[in-house]
Amino acid sequence: MEKPIPSSDDLYDFFNAVIYRWLKLPSKKVASVDTDIQVLPNEEGFLFSEPSKGILVLRTSKEFGEGLARLAKNKEVPHDLFLQMIVVFWHQFVGKYWQLDSRTLPPLLFKKSVPRHWPDRKPDSHLTVFILEQPVELRLWVDLTEEETARWKTR
């Protein structure tokens, strides 16, 4: 794939700007991340097929999801803000980094995921931040193999 993949710092700058513009919630980057996979039970992800096969996962705590639910209720938003956060981020990400319109891309394969669904390698881009005093982690894998794609689809 010849599309650029942002570094962790670039991903933070972009993610922070998107979340702040959209929900007026600032984030604080975690400077060093433990290599162990943290337990974050609120996890959603999707498989995309263009511009190459890839997976985007957003993970967080139960408390962050509850905080977004309260925020949605206060703003009278009738849907899941956590899932919408992934969609808003994706739309803006493909526009900025890949100069594509996500609305013209093939449908995404969403699923409530867990780490065993992920490719068995480090993500191509990774970010951990705190929002509403809760951890939020973003992981992006691109150029998936057929085995990695099958792993996502079957588990």
Supply 85's token pair: 């956060």
Residue 20 vs residue 68, higher pLDDT: 20
Give the pLDDT of residue 70: 74
Give the pLDDT of residue 25: 86
CA 130 to chain centroid, in Å, comes to 14
Supply 34's token pair: 């433990």
Strand partners, 92: none
Q: How confident is the model at residue 129 (pLDDT cuts 50, 70, 90)?
A: very high
Contacts of 29 (CB under 8 A, 6+ apart): 12, 16, 127, 128, 129
Q: Virtual CA dihedral for 128, 130, 132, 136, nearest 10 degrees?
A: 10
Q: How confident is the model at residue 63 (pLDDT cuts 50, 70, 90)?
A: confident
Q: Tell me the pLDDT tens digit for each residue of 11-49.
A: 999 999 998 998 888 899 987 665 567 788 889 999 999
Average pLDDT on 109-122 reads 92
3-state secondary structure of 148: helix
